[in-house]
Amino acid sequence: MTALFGLDLRGRRVVVAGGGSVAARRVRRFVTEGALVTVVAPDIDEDLERHALHGDVTLVRRGVEAADLDEAWFVLAATDDKALNDTVAGWAEDRRVWCIDASDASRGTARQAAMSRHGEVSIGVLSTGAPDPGRIRKVRDQIAARLDAGEMDMRRERAGAGRVILVGSGPGDPGLITVRGRQALAEADVVVTDRLGATELLVTVPYDVEVVNVGKSPTHHPVPQHEINAILVDRALAGKTVVRLKGGDPYVFGRGGEEVHACVEAGVDVEVVPGVTSALSVPALAGIPVTQRGVATSLLVTTGHAGADPAARAAMAAGATVVILMGVSALPDIVQAALSAGCDPSLPVAIVENGTTSRERVTRGTLEDISRIASETGVKPPAIIVVGDVATPGLLASAVAATPEPKGD
């Protein structure tokens, strides 16, 4: 159902009289809602021309006629002639077709709401008195801000089919969760949470939301993956909205694919909300650009389980940046394999523990001494290991100063 007016205009004919900026702005919403839009006007805005090039709208380059409204489900009168708009609204009235008169909302049979979407919920604000677009947009924006911040309870009240939402919560800082991820938490009846990620946000969910902690650590896996899958499916089949709150991104070494497969196999509706992966965000916030221009143009992301494989060693030797997740315990083996394969012993290495949190710590060294330094300083997971020239201390400022601007793109 369209978010515009509570009407389902998908696949239905909408006629827009007028081809200027007002028409172009409103056509975007009709196109987004899947309407079949025909614009009738002698002069056409460039934005509408682009829509037509992509096949989103049909353009009729002449003045609007009464017959243009035949077979229409909805009409927008948005010419720059107030009298003509009133005439179009009259033609729509004769055909019992809903119409917005952009010149004078009181003369049409519909008004456009100021809209915003928030997961399964769309809100629309209308003026019931004299039209005041600035006022209704202001009210909409204030409501939308509260919804997107998770400050309003968005749980379903009417029983229905359960579902699972896999939410990547980012590397840890709660400010790095996506807007959709934050909305999903406000919709949750059950939250199945990891140990890592933006778990601080759990203090914001209502007390009657069930929170199931299935978090793992390198030496302790209290809930095996098949049991996690079963919890998701069981709660969803009971009609609950289940948010699986995962650290980083669900599909970047997060076993999200296995959880989606379990839901699909059980006939449970599942949505995936991508997250900010720690593999890129943690180095970035620690001042390490993993593909700094002029320093490294390729990137390999791997785990400690595979960090000593030939691909990782070859990437290090070729000057690529190698980012290793879950690699603290395997660090000596990774280093030894790289050195044995002929990688440069002086290759810079940085280890970022507890990235994006108040406990963040960066430990630096080179390939030949990083294992010793990590042992002496007591490096512990969770940590991201970055191997490559981009991990050179102070490199960011010096690289920016020394690298000329490229020509063109």
Q: What are the residues facing 74 on neighbouring strands?
A: 14, 98
Please give the full DSSP string across 281-346, using - where no structure is assigned: HHHHHTT--TT-TTT---EEEEETTTTTSHHHHHHHHTT-EEEEES-TTTHHHHHHHHHHTT--TT
Q: Are 219 and 238 in contact (CB under 8 A)?
A: no
Q: Give the amino acid at 86.
A: D
Token readout for 215 is: 């978090």
Q: Give the amino acid at 267.
A: G
Say how far apart CA 312 and CA 383 lie, in whole Å: 18
404 DSSP 8-state letter: P
Q: Which residue out of 216, 234, 344, 369 is catalytically annotated?
A: 216
Token readout for 128 is: 């019931």
Exposed/middle/buried for residue 316 (C-beta within 10 Å: 0-12, 13-18, 19+): buried
Q: From residue 174, how far is each of 179, 193, 194, 311 by CA, in Å? A: 11, 14, 14, 34
Please indicate whether residue 216 is annotated as part of the active site.
Answer: yes
* Residue in the structure block whose two tokens are 């000329």: 404
Which of 160, 162, 165 is closest to 260 using CA atoms? 165
Say how far apart CA 290 and CA 321 lie, in whole Å: 6
Q: Which residue out of 194, 240, 246, 249 is catalytically annotated?
A: 194
Q: What are the residues facing 323 on neighbouring strands?
A: 301, 386
Q: From residue 190, how far is each of 152, 165, 186, 211, 322 by CA, in Å? A: 16, 10, 10, 6, 37
Q: What is the phi/psi pair of residue 17, to 5°?
A: -95, 115
Q: From residue 182, how far is each of 97, 189, 256 by CA, in Å? A: 39, 14, 18
The DSSP bridge pattern shows strands 383-387 and 348-353 to be antiparallel
**Active site positions, annotated:** 194, 216
